[in-house]
């Protein structure tokens, strides 16, 4: 019985079992179970305060679960996995006085890309992916909000990680830029990268391969967008209808 489970865990990009976490006396994650296979875009959908960011912080190793286990490629999250994981936080979290190139170069160095030539290539590739090659030498303070988001994404993928953890990456983006971001994500999953994306908008949800609806620290449902739409039992249901339906059912 145990062997197949271990195999599943090792093959999964993310494997979470019975994870609980509390900030002081306030429980935020109340028993999360999740298995994300490699090469898919998994969306964690939920309202503000549902526990999405806490889950992402747990997966980058910044928080420790009080119960259960969270594994990435079969290992505990932490610095040892940093080279395989890319993280885009909710805040842009970039250095305002540095240029686009300097920011990406700095984070590439933090991600163990010590060789100057290899790093220059990686930075150039990342700028190309996020469409900012022509703004390489612009300092952050000269960029628009959308461009900063793109630099932030570039910093998360500069080392070509196998798993991308993106915390609300499309917040504040205009529809055109949002579509561009999703095109990047699609290209990446097709190339084998696994993406976990937290969001509270159903626009994002529709682009994901699989989704987990989160409410009050638990997943109330997981499945493909189509499966979740069908859960309402009504034809022509939207993902928003499905979320509201499942949310009310779980209350």
What are the Cα distances from residue 139, in Å, to 66, 98, 116?
41, 5, 21
CB of 112 to other proteins, least distance (A): 5
Per the document, the length of the chain is 251
Q: Which residue do the tokens 């940093």 mark? A: 82
Residue 62 in contact with other proteins, rule: CB under 8 A: yes
Who's near 18: CB < 8 A, 6+ residues apart? Answer: 31, 32, 33, 67, 68, 69
DSSP E strands in 107-190: the ranges are: 163-167
Identify whether the C-beta of residue 211 lies closer than 8 Å to the C-beta of residue 41: no
Residue 136 in contact with other proteins, rule: CB under 8 A: no
Residue 82 in contact with other proteins, rule: CB under 8 A: yes
Size of the site for other proteins (CB under 8 A): 27
Who's near 112: CB < 8 A, 6+ residues apart? Answer: 82, 83, 159
The correct pick among 21, 42, 87, 181 for binding other proteins (CB under 8 A) is 87
- Applying CB under 8 A, the span of 23-31, 35-43, 98-106, 202-210 interacting with other proteins comes to 98-106
CB of 19 to other proteins, least distance (A): 18
The correct pick among 28, 71, 85, 157 for binding other proteins (CB under 8 A) is 85
Residue 64 in contact with other proteins, rule: CB under 8 A: no
Who's near 4: CB < 8 A, 6+ residues apart? Answer: none
Rg (CA), the chain: 18
The correct pick among 107, 181, 182, 219 for binding other proteins (CB under 8 A) is 107
- Applying CB under 8 A, the span of 1-9, 93-101, 128-136, 199-207 interacting with other proteins comes to 93-101
Q: Between residues 94 and 211, which has the closer beta carbon with respect to other proteins?
A: 94
- Binding site residues, other proteins, CB under 8 A: 60-62, 79, 82-83, 85, 87, 89-95, 97-98, 102, 106-107, 109-112, 114, 139, 155
């Amino acid at each position: 019985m145990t062997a197949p489970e271990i195999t599943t865990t090792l093959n999964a990009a993310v494997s979470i079992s019975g994870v609980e976490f509390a900030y002081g006396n306030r429980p935020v994650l109340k028993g999360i179970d999740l298995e994300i296979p490699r090469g898919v875009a998994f969306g964690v959908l939920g309202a503000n305060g549902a526990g999405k960011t806490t889950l992402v912080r747990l997966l980058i190793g910044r928080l420790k679960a009080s119960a259960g286990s969270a594994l990435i490629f079969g290992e505990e999250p932490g610095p040892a996995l940093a080279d395989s994981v890319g993280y885009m936080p909710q805040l842009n979290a970039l250095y305002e006085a540095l240029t686009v190139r300097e920011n990406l170069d700095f984070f590439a160095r933090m991600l163990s890309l010590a060789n100057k030539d290899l790093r220059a290539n990686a930075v150039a590739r990342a700028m190309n992916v996020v469409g900012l090659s022509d703004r390489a030498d612009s300092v952050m303070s000269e960029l628009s909000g959308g461009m900063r988001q793109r630099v932030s994404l570039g910093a998360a993928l500069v080392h070509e990680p196998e798993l991308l953890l993106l915390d609300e990456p499309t917040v504040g983006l205009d529809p055109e830029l949002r579509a561009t971001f999703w095109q990047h994500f699609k290209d990446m999953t097709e190339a084998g990268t696994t993406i976990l994306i937290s969001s509270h908008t159903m626009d994002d949800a529709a682009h994901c391969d699989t989704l987990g609806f989160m409410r009050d620290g638990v997943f109330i449902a997981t499945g493909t967008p189509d499966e979740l739409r069908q859960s309402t039992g009504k034809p022509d249901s939207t993902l928003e209808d499905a979320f509201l339906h499942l949310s009310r059912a779980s209350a």
